Structure 1
Amino acid sequence: MIVDIPATTTRAVGKKLIELRESGGAVTIGRVLTLIVASRDGEQAETAIEAANEASREHPCRVIVLIRGDRSAESGLDAQIRVGGDAGASEVVVLRLHGELAEHEHSVVIPFLLPDTPIVVWWPNEAPKIPAQDPLGKLAIRRITDATKSPDPTSTIKSRLDSYSQGDSDLSWSRVTYWRGLLATALDQAPHEKVVDVTVSGLAEEPALDILAGWLAAKLEVPVHRRTGELKVELKRENSAISIVRPQTGKTATLSRTGQPDAEVALARRETRECLAEELRRLDTDEIYELALKGLSKVSYE
């Protein structure tokens, strides 16, 4: 069910939510958190809503979508409420802010926050320079950004350390979870020689590879080279090597280890909804993500 409420107020939207709940169209029982989706791009907001809906099947929540409308227009609010099949396992409140109201989105969102539940803010495209100091970020215990969608992904992911606060994370980090797991497993197998050199290559504007390189530099404390080329991670030891290679748009990677037959591994690019669901599983500080950001300074770009 989708209910449009044009030219409205937060009070009227709140009343409509209560009406829908009392009529059996929506319930808040079992909602484990409030997810605020701060979309600075109205055209891409629907994609973000779809991802949030899918993530809500694992984490039932209230999703509040903030969309900045025409800044030059008269100050006003258009709203939409989605429940049932149009909202996954959540209830979705879409708030489109026009004019001066767009500068006060944190005030608009407060009446819709679920009481006694954690608050998470996700910026699916452009994010503030310091998320923890943003008015919306101050409301949340977890702040999720996505450097992949920024105008300059490499510079953006490198700048995350300067703006880092406990509770920050980036979806580019979640996109390489399976890569990190596969590399860690391969390193745990014989021969247990020390890694002496690492190369991470792929698309130039792929921050997931940058953060992966930073993680390897921080954990292994060896030279790590970030190159542009085929999608590949290679770990060189004194007498052996480990590599993972995958076509850029492929779903299967090849794991190669010196002295062993190659292995085919399912390693498709993770969808945004999967990465978002993973981030919502843990609301505490991600210390390894912070470590990977610190490791970026040790990566050489070639």
Structure 2
Amino acid sequence: MNVDLTNTTASKINKALVQARRANSSPAVSMVLTLVIITDEENAHDAVKAASDASREHPSRILAVIKRPVRGRQHRGETRLDAEVRVGSDAGSVETVLLRLHGDLAEHADSVVVPLLLPDTPVVVWWPVDAPATPAKDPLGALAQRRITDSYAVEEPLMELALRTTTYTPGDTDLAWTRLTPWRSMLAAALDQAPATVTGAVVESEAENPSAELLARWFADRLEVPVQRVVTKGPVVTGVRLRTADGEIVIDRPEGAVATLSIPHQPTRALALRVRSTAELIAEELRRLDPDEAYAAALSATTEELKHDV
């Protein structure tokens, strides 16, 4: 069920939600959190689609805050809230509200969002693009237990990652880190199978990849070894090498969804290691709402700046 509201208010949106919920027999008590997406019109569709797909695992109320720029002198200073309410089959396992904020209202999004938050449930805020310098100090970010950014979605990812390092607050996370979960799990399992002292590490990836930078920092933090970055054609992270006295432990994924794992004195094996969708990344982040200490440690770690191309 879709309900369009033009020049509306938060109270009218809440009323529309209640009416739509009753019409679809979908009580709000099944919702486990509120996910606030702060985006622009260009990225709204993909972000809402990803959040809706993630809601199959985490039933939630999705509030998409879409800030609309003022165009033309005749609209200068116009302040208006338009909304689209989706409940039932049109929204999957969630209640979705698209909030289009016009004019000066775009600078006061928290005044619109707060009355629409589910009571007594966690709040997660996600910026698919254009995240603030300090997410925890943003009026909406301050409401949240978790704040999700994505360094990969900007023009200069490593500069964005440097900014995240200086403004980190417990509860912050980045999808560039989430993308590394399969890599970190497989590398940890490989070291369990072949216990050895790691003397150095190599991370291979496309240039300016924030996930590769975070992986290198994670090695520096956890293994306390020099880490070399090698630039490849990609896509994203293409390989990792851990140097030991017995030889190299290698995960190689030059392209596609299959990687190979090589461990000294063991046969090479194939691993499923595809690039995951945004919906899968968001679903993973919603599984835990406590601060990610491993991300914080990796973010603050330093590595030797050793890079070359292949």
Fold in common (TM above 0.5): yes
In structure 2, the residue matched to 1:219 is 222
User: Sequence identity, in percent?
Assistant: 48
Say which of 276, 279, 283 aligns to 1:277.
Answer: 283
In structure 1, the residue matched to 2:261 is 255
Question: Is residue 189 of structure 1 aligned with residue 193 of structure 2?
Answer: yes
Quote the Cα distance in structure 1 between the aligned partners of 2:134 and 2:25. Answer: 38
Q: CA deviation at 1:7?
A: 2.3
User: What letter matches 1:20 in structure 2?
Assistant: A
Q: Using a 3 Å threshold, how does the CA distance of structure 1 residues 3 and 25 change in structure 2: closer, same or farther?
A: farther
Quote the Cα distance in structure 1 between the aligned partners of 2:70 and 2:219. Answer: 44
In structure 2, the residue matched to 1:12 is 12
Q: CA deviation at 1:239?
A: 3.1
Quote the Cα distance in structure 2 between the aligned partners of 1:240 and 1:130. Answer: 43
Quote the Cα distance in structure 1 between the aligned partners of 2:226 and 2:292. Answer: 24
Quote the Cα distance in structure 2 between the aligned partners of 1:270 and 1:240. Answer: 30
In structure 2, the residue matched to 1:210 is 213
Quote the Cα distance in structure 1 between the aligned partners of 2:21 and 2:246. Answer: 65
Question: Is residue 236 of structure 1 aligned with residue 243 of structure 2?
Answer: yes
* Cα root mean square deviation, aligned: 1.4
Quote the Cα distance in structure 1 between the aligned partners of 2:16 and 2:22. Answer: 10
Tell me the secondary structure at the aligned position of residue 218 of structure 2. Answer: helix
Q: CA deviation at 1:179?
A: 0.4
In structure 2, the residue matched to 1:35 is 35
User: What letter matches 1:160 in structure 2?
Assistant: R
In structure 2, the residue matched to 1:70 is 69
In structure 1, the residue matched to 2:295 is 289
Tell me the secondary structure at the aligned position of residue 13 of structure 1. Answer: helix
Question: Is residue 56 of structure 1 aligned with residue 55 of structure 2?
Answer: yes
Q: CA deviation at 1:275?
A: 0.9
Q: CA deviation at 1:301?
A: 4.5
Question: Is residue 246 of structure 1 aligned with residue 253 of structure 2?
Answer: yes
Q: CA deviation at 1:282?
A: 0.5
Structure 2 length normalisation: TM-score?
Answer: 0.92
User: What letter matches 1:66 in structure 2?
Assistant: V
Q: CA deviation at 1:204?
A: 1.1
Quote the Cα distance in structure 2 between the aligned partners of 1:212 and 1:197. Answer: 13
Conserved? CA contact 1:69–1:102, under 8 Å: yes
**1:120-174 CA distance string (max 9 Å, x none):** 1011111001000111111111111111112211211232121111111111111
Quote the Cα distance in structure 1 between the aligned partners of 2:10 and 2:306. Answer: 49
Conserved? CA contact 1:25–1:83, under 8 Å: no
Conserved? CA contact 1:71–1:102, under 8 Å: no
Say which of 141, 149, 174 aligns to 2:145.
Answer: 141
Quote the Cα distance in structure 2 between the aligned partners of 1:211 and 1:299. Answer: 13
Q: Using a 3 Å threshold, how does the CA distance of structure 1 residues 158 and 67 change in structure 2: closer, same or farther?
A: same
Tell me the secondary structure at the aligned position of residue 29 of structure 2. Answer: coil
Quote the Cα distance in structure 1 between the aligned partners of 2:201 and 2:278. Answer: 28
Quote the Cα distance in structure 2 between the aligned partners of 1:238 and 1:294. Answer: 29
Quote the Cα distance in structure 1 between the aligned partners of 2:116 and 2:232. Answer: 47
Q: CA deviation at 1:86?
A: 2.1
Tell me the secondary structure at the aligned position of residue 188 of structure 1. Answer: helix
Q: CA deviation at 1:247?
A: 2.2
Quote the Cα distance in structure 2 between the aligned partners of 1:88 and 1:223. Answer: 47
In structure 2, the residue matched to 1:267 is 273
Tell me the secondary structure at the aligned position of residue 286 of structure 2. Answer: helix
In structure 1, the residue matched to 2:201 is 198
User: What letter matches 1:35 in structure 2?
Assistant: L
Quote the Cα distance in structure 2 between the aligned partners of 1:199 and 1:134. Answer: 37
**1:111-130 equivalence runs, <5 A:** 111-130=115-134
In structure 2, the residue matched to 1:93 is 97
In structure 1, the residue matched to 2:158 is 154
Q: Using a 3 Å threshold, how does the CA distance of structure 1 residues 274 and 20 change in structure 2: closer, same or farther?
A: same
